[in-house]
Amino acid sequence: MQKRKVGTSGLEVSELGFGCMGMSFSYGPPKDTKEMTALLHAAVERGVTFFDTAEVYGPLINEKLVGEALAPFRGQVVIATKFGWEANPEDGGKWSALNSRPEHIKKVAEESLKRLKVDAIDLYYQHRVDLNVPIEDVAGAVKELIQEGKVKHFGLSEASAKTIRRAHAVQSVTALQSEYSLFFREPEESVIPTLEELGIGFVPFSPLGKGFLTGKIDAETKFDSNDFRNTVPRFSAENRKTNQALVDVITAFAHKKKATPAQIALAWLLAKKPWIVPIPGTTKLSRLEENLGGASIKLTAEDVRALEESSSKVKVEGARYSPFHQQLVGR
């Protein structure tokens, strides 16, 4: 596994990271702790050094899982986590309220440090932009945590180019984490040029389109009742049937390269910019190994052009989030 620098910050990680969310959250019930611990160890053994979690995943249990599983590898791995949510009493106690007030950030940072069993958080993202708190105040709070040695790097998630610039003026932003894949290419419009200009790394989540680009999901697929894709318009049966055309394009390209669709989707991201580090997630060893195989596929500029030309002809149908979550991105 090759290493990559996340922008110009000096943070170096494996070229493919590991998104840990699905082990505890969003894709059905939480998975067996022992099995997930073994999978995280397998990832480290195969060269992965970059792991992504958040306090809201679970909530709280994913950070605890990651912290305990990766404790034997302190100093060898980089763990990113996120702040910005809290329980909402008006919503039955669900973690559906945003809170990025400086005092809240500092409080939950201490709690994440304990769950992760670390002295400093390697990369600390604001999970979603909170319009009730100026981004300058958020960046200032993280800057103080960095000065105190409790955080090493500051990140944003699903922020607009304008917000990124404002935050970066107060505290250097090391990375932006947002959705980006052949299934969702909107960041190319203004976000990626801004990141390149400012020397900020890009960490695409859902690089496999929430599983859709693997070719293992079709219009007939039934999701677990706890699977958040049930609420996503893009994953309605009708839209899955229409969007299958994109998977067909990627699959045809993959056949030529003697690879799987998932591997091509990841190889495409790695070929786009040397400072892009995708974080595919999985709960299965076979999928982990398949994903890591994507790093060994080197696409040429002509390969990228051909893949984009053919995939761009497919109009993807459906919003990528429910209305509530859709309003929280790109702010």
d(CA 281, CA 181): 14
Dist. CA 144–CA 255, nearest whole Å? 51
Q: State yes or no: is 57 an active-site residue.
A: yes
Catalytic residue among 57, 124, 180, 321: 57
Residues with a catalytic annotation lie at 57
